[in-house]
Structure 1
Amino acid sequence: MATVQRWTGLEARALRLALRMSVRSFACHLGVGIRTISKWEKLLATTEPRQDTQSILDTALARANAAAHLRFETFLSEADRAPSAVSVRRVASRGPLAWEYESWADDLDRAVVALSRQDFTFADSLIDRWLGRFKPTALDDRGLYLFARSTALLGDLRRDQGAVLGPLSAQRAYASARSLFGQLDIPRRVAQIDLSLAVVAEMSGSLEVAARQYESLAVDDRLSRRDQARARLWVGTTLSKDGSHTYATRVMLAATREFEDLGEPEDWSVAHQKLALAHRGAGDLANALHFIGIARRAATTDSPMQRVRLETAHGHILLSDRATRDDGLAILDKAAGLAGQFGLSHQLASIEGIRAMREKIA
């Protein structure tokens, strides 16, 4: 997060703009007079607030959220580089202006929300707006970070659409994002992209490769505990897909306990869904129904993707018992309809595969 060694009117003005406050509201926020704020804004770097006010500004900056910190750094950077209109024109030719950094960051936040709702068209337009506007070579570190985030989100979009391999694929976008985060020397982001690449390997059927990557990332200190637990859960997923259902359930249970300790209800729900499928694979339909019931009750998101996954798992389990076969087919039909509505081609292919497998057995 940004810090200031010594505040001047310039930094104070940048903080006001970053917090999106008027002069009056900023004065109230700090507990100082409006005239004081006006003086800072008039004299900028040639005036310094009093010592007690320096501490108040430190506190206001420390309490600001991450988006405000980004805006604060952007305004300061722009002020340092653009003391004149000529300088501003030069900066514009090299990369984004201050307002563009802010708009870019806001658009990425909106793209994340759109992706969570599987609104791929809107998310794609938000991401492409910036990837098509700038070249990485024309960007400073802040711009390059936003470009890398945009590229990683493009990978998420293509993965969720089922485009995992090829020139316009999730794998290609993730590889580009990984290179950029490496260039910026941000190890945590590199490791998160490695986790996404492991998911792509699993989705493309390279289970051994995915399992090795997950196992390595499950103990990777670059990742948060939550991401490590996800990697551990996905180790279990690949083991189950490879037929090692009993071992898979033990690995998944460890990840489930970690999600409970971390207070991550959605991940906890997903873990129960995976456990249900592992028990189905082992032929333990009673436990499979038990765990899928927990997963469905505990789900906290209304994401179409997760609804399709839950209903697909539920239908798959019911389809495994002749007594509930018709119910299973009905649920799979519902899941297929939802997958088709939102363009979830990978999930649609999975549903068709389950149907085909059941028809062969029948």
Structure 2
Amino acid sequence: MIRGREWTGFEAVALQEAMRKSVRDFAAMLGIDTTTIANWRSGLSTVTPRTRMQEILDTTLAQRATPEDKDRFDQIVAEGETVWRRRHQRPDASKVPRLESPQRPNAAAYPPAAVASTVEAGIGCGEDRVQEVDEVNRREFGGTLLGLTALAATSSDAQAHVAPELVDYFRSQLAGHYSADRFLGPTQLIPAAVPQYELLCELANAASGNLRSDFWSLATGYAAFLGWLYQDAGDLRRSTYWHDQMLERAHRSQDPQLVGFALHNKAMLEADKRDGRSVLDLTGAALQQRTHLIPKVEVLLLQQAAHGTSLIGGDNAADECGRLLDEAAVSLEAVDDEYPWGACRSPRYIDVQQATIWTRLGLAREAIALWEQIIPDIPASQSRDRGVFTTRHAQALAAAGEPEQALATVAAIPPLVVRTGSARMRTELFALQKRMQPWSRDSAGRALDELLSSFT
């Protein structure tokens, strides 16, 4: 091995960029995990690679970098960390592009650069490769985790002691994220959750026994949360990735409740794709173990099975959906656990599912009456949920032949979509536009088209 300079995380990422390699490709070249590079990018000059990695970096620069690569490397290093950080900082939120139309269902509905650039990379743990983005800016949040990252790195090297107290720390963090999700959105929460997930994977790999299972359980919860955030943002490709991670981590945790929760989340994603049969496949698989499931998981699976049934439709769909929701309501009364996920105790939870299903099945008058009871009970601070439910209420009004009332109901929703980046609201608005087609040439239809023109 060739020995030369004393490398820091900043110089290591400077070499990556000089060689024009993605995180995944650079990690493969060095024979390391992508999480190591993510830590370099987070810590920059505060991180010092280990001796073995110093040698690998020396050899890579000396033997694998081209003369042009070396020139670019020298220039990046000469410019310094401050210039590098400025070049990779998040752009002014006022300059981000507008939301995409539903004809691009995989396009991000939040400002993409606020979370990451469009360069694909891998950010994972162990041998996993996370289909994430190359330029995630974790500087602000990552700095608060440097001490924990150092603990994880030390434990990973020596399979040494991992503090059990970290389980409670991350459990409280995850509960806080789920609570904050009612008030914030994907743009704000994804950059905070990703580095915590990565660190949890490192801690799980370093731990053993029950503590290892505890960390994998928490990693499952974080992966589920990230899958939901990307789903809410309309990025179904990345959401699918995180849901797959969630299911794999759930099996590692050896917790049947987490496996059931993971299958529910996968089913919820399929419902967003309007694939009712896949929803029933997944919920049916989980409910086969119903005698071993806690009430919360039962509730989540039963209500999702009702959504799957309504997507398939049929003469008896309304009755079957009602039966499933009645069973869910009974189980809801018994929910009493400490899991931070699965907010089925939120206001009017079963009623929301019922009203959504009635709207989908064309039972407009029943849906309108229920939405009018539900929406006043949703706190104004929970703006994304309130916006989604209000738009579904408008869909029921349109289905009942009340286009003017439907238009008035959603007048304040488009600015809320822009502010929160919620693709759920955007999707519901375009579903309303479809229901308003009979009045497309009337004043209400034209007004709605104008209202939605900024999204197309």
What TM-score results when the alignment is normalised by the length of structure 2? 0.52
Paired residue for 1:331, among 404, 409, 421? 409
Q: Which residue of 1 aligns with 2:224?
A: 152
Question: Do the aligned partners of residues 149 and 261 (structure 1) sit closer, same or farther apart at CA in structure 2, a change above 3 Å counting?
Answer: closer
Higher percent of residues as helix: 1
Q: Distance in 2 between matches of 1:157 and 1:357?
A: 27
Equivalent pair of 2:298/2:328 in contact (CA under 8 Å): no
| Contact map agreement 1:232 1:252 (CA 8 A) in 2 | no
Q: Is the 8 A contact 2:276 2:308 kept in 1?
A: yes
Q: Classify 1:176/1:245 alpha carbon distance in 2 versus 1 (closer, same or farther; 3 Å).
A: same
The amino acid that maps onto 2:384 is M
Q: Which residue of structure 1 lines up, in the alignment, with residue 366 of structure 2?
A: 287
Superimposed CA distance per residue, residues 53-107 of structure 1 (whole angstroms, 9 cap, x where no aligned partner)? xxxxxxxxxxxxxxxxxxxxxxxxxxxxxxxxxx999537457545655543332
Distance 1:119 1:309, change over 3 A: closer
Q: Which residue of 1 aligns with 2:249?
A: 180
Residue 209 of structure 1 corresponds to which residue in structure 2?
278
> Sequence identity of aligned pairs in percent?
11
Alpha-carbon distance between aligned partners in 1 of 2:392 and 2:259, rounded to the nearest angstrom: 31
Find the aligned partners of 1:118 and 1:101 in 2 and give their Cα distance.
25
Gap runs ≥5 in structure 1: 1-86
Picking from 382, 392, 396, the partner of 1:317 is 396
- Structure 2's unaligned 5+ residue stretches are 1-150, 336-343, 441-456
Give the distance between the partners of 1:182 and 1:239, measured in 2 at CA: 27
1:215, distance to aligned residue in structure 2 (A): 3.6
Corresponding residue for residue 224 of structure 1: 294
Q: Answer with 210-219 or 190-199: which moved more.
A: 210-219
Q: Following TM superposition, by how much is the alpha carbon of 1:150 offset from its aligned partner in structure 2, in angstroms?
A: 2.1
- In the alignment, structure 1 residue 247 sits paired with structure 2 residue 317: yes
CA distance in 2, matches of 1:103, 1:267: 24
Residues 94-173 of structure 1 aligned to structure 2 (within 5 Å): 94=159, 97=163, 100-133=166-199, 135=202, 137-140=205-208, 141=212, 142-164=214-236, 166=237, 169-173=238-242
Alpha carbon RMSD of aligned pairs, Å?
A: 3.3
Determine if contact 1:91/1:97 at 8 Å carries over to the other structure: no
Deviation at 1:281, TM superposition (A): 5.0
> Aligned in 2, Cα 1:108/1:89: closer, same or farther, shift over 3 Å?
closer
Indicate if the aligned counterparts of 1:276 and 1:291 stay in contact, CA closer than 8 A.
Answer: yes
Deviation at 1:342? 0.9
Pair 1:232–1:173, CA change in 2 (3 A): same
Asked whether the equivalents of residues 217 and 258 of structure 2 are also in contact (C-alpha less than 8 Å), the reply is: no
Task: Describe the shift of the 1:299–1:162 C-alpha distance in structure 2 as closer, same or farther (beyond 3 A).
Answer: same
8 Å CA contact 2:221, 2:246 repeated in 1: yes
Shift of 1:195: 0.7
Cα deviation code 1:253-307 (max 9, x no counterpart):
5424642663488567243334334444555433222222233355468422321
- Displacement of 1:249 in angstroms is 4.3
In 1, Cα distance between the equivalents of 2:282 and 2:226?
22
Q: In the alignment, is the contact (CA less than 8 A) between 1:211 and 1:239 conserved in 2?
A: yes
What is the CA–CA distance in structure 2 between the aligned matches of 1:266 and 1:181, rounded to whole Å?
A: 23
| Aligned-partner residue type, residue 237 of structure 1 | H
Q: Bigger CA drift: 179-188 or 217-226?
A: 217-226
Please tell me the residue identity of whatever aligns with 1:143. Answer: F
What is the rounded CA distance, in whole Å, between the counterparts of 2:427 and 2:370 in structure 1? Answer: 24
Deviation at 1:157, TM superposition (A): 1.7
The separation in 2 between residues aligned to 1:238 and 1:346, in whole angstroms, is 18
CA distance in 1, matches of 2:366, 2:267: 28
- SS class of match (2:274): coil
- The whole-number CA distance in structure 2 between the counterparts of 1:190 and 1:325 is 44
Instruction: Output the amino acid matched with 1:190.
Output: V
Give the whole-Å Cα distance in 1 for the aligned partners of 2:285 and 2:189: 31
When the two structures are superposed, what TM-score results if normalisation uses the length of structure 1? 0.64
Alpha carbons 1:252, 1:271 under 8 Å: kept:
no
Q: Number of residues paired by the alignment?
A: 272
